[in-house]
Amino acid sequence: MIMGSITALGMIFISYFFPAVTHPLRERLAQIDFSEFLLGVLLSFLLFAGSLHVQLADLKKSAKVIITFASVGTLISTAVVGIALYYLTIFIALPIPFLYCLLFGALISPTDPIAVMGILKEAGLSKDIETKIVGESLINDGIGVVIFVTILQIVAVGHENFGVIDITLLFLQEAVGGVVTGLLIGYAGFILMKSIDHFQTEILISLAMVMGGYSFCHYIHVSGPLAMVVAGIITGNTGAAKAMSDNTRDYLGKFWEVTDEILNAILFMLIGLEIVFVDFRVGYILISIITVVLIVLSRFISLYGTSLLFRFKQEISNNTLKIMTWGGLRGGISIALALSIPPNPYKELIVSITFVIVLVSIVGQGLTIERFIKHINRKAGG
């Protein structure tokens, strides 16, 4: 992502002196529908690949904490960020309507499992904390998309035409429907893999689960991200243990690991290059810098508030909450959701803020998380 950012900044600098040189490159980048590419293609593969490595036994131990943080915590964070941004934009004289502020809160609150898992491989965390962070990131990603879709629907039809019952039904359709569909996809794949012992075909079955399953979720209007997480967990646990030979398990694991690495490289390079479309107005940058701090604070408030509300303090220490806060990176999903907002007078500002937050999050938090964890552990030991 840093390489992509440097390239994009170089393009912006050169364009001031030689606009003809960079114009073809800008045109090529403009042809890429980043939102559709990530939400419609990359996300399904990346979430499935990531959830394959989540151990169900470890997940069950922390299931209550993970699900509560991913759902209630994301809702709290959405509200906190939305309210803070609403008053901040009024103070800076660039007001955004409250519903659009909540929309921003929904797209920026979920942590990106793709970024988080890549960082945590090198962080040296305990298995328990790693499971909580990865599990919460995988699930709150799906929950965040559901909240975003719900608020976007309210914006589209007007809050006066969309009551509490409508909101609840839409949320349940997306969230519960996504989990149920994921179970069906996962167990259908399990049955097919169990019926044969041919690793090439079983890899193709896993591909069909992702591509066909995600398209089916889109068709019936349920959460594809949640479905892919559930299907991946079933395949990586029940499927790996009962439906695959050692040879298939090895090949399938390596295939998805390589796929994950390649798509991650493409994704973060694209995020960096997309800076060429960010509006660098002084007001936008000022709001972005203040919002970066607000996002980190809202993350801690949502985690700490949820742990107090549901009495998790005995299971989760303040140090764990601090690590989960700093390890909660924002990534491509936030950018894709921001870009997917229909054209309106506030979209440009929301997209610019989102880009800055994602860049600061991945570069700033991503490059310091290992040092941060060592510092926390050293203080705890001392």
The verdict on 138 and 268 lying in the same domain is: yes
The verdict on 42 and 8 lying in the same domain is: no
Asked whether residue 42 falls in the same domain as residue 158, the answer is yes
pTM: predicted TM-score of the whole model, two decimal places:
0.84
Tens of pLDDT, residues 282-328: 778 888 889 989 999 999 998 888 888 888 877 788 888 888 888 88
Say if residue 88 is in the same domain as residue 5: no
Least confident of 13-22, 254-263, 329-338: 13-22
Digit-coded pLDDT (tens) for 184-237? 999 999 999 999 999 999 999 999 999 999 999 999 989 898 899 999 999 999
Same-domain status, 12 and 153: no
In this structure, the answer to whether residues 9 and 40 fall within a common structural domain is: no
- Confidence grade of residue 48 (pLDDT, cut at 50, 70, 90): very high
Q: Are residues 12 and 130 in the same domain?
A: no
Statement to judge: residues 151 and 4 lie in one domain: no
Checking if the pLDDT of 382 tops 60, the result is no
Q: Are 314 and 267 found together in one domain?
A: yes
- What would the two tokens of residue 207 be? 């591909």
If asked whether residues 69 and 6 sit together in one domain, one would say no
* pLDDT tens profile 67-78: 898 889 999 999
Residues 27 and 96 in one domain: no
Comparing 68-82, 121-135, 240-254, 261-275, the range with the smallest average pLDDT is 121-135
Most confident segment among 2-6, 51-55, 209-213, 331-335? 209-213
pLDDT at 61: 83
Identify whether residues 18 and 85 lie together within a single domain.
no
- Show the domain range for 25: 1-31
CATH of the domain at 234: 1.20.1530.20
Q: Please report, rounded to a whole number, the percentage of residues in the chain having pLDDT higher than 70.
A: 94
Average pLDDT across the chain, whole number: 85
Whether the pLDDT of residue 248 is over 60: the answer is yes
State residue 121's pLDDT score: 63
Going by pLDDT thresholds of 50, 70 and 90, the confidence category of residue 243 is: very high
pLDDT per residue over 317-337, tens digit each? 888 888 888 888 888 888 888
Structural domains in the chain (count) = 2
Cα separation, 308 vs 305, in Å, equals: 5
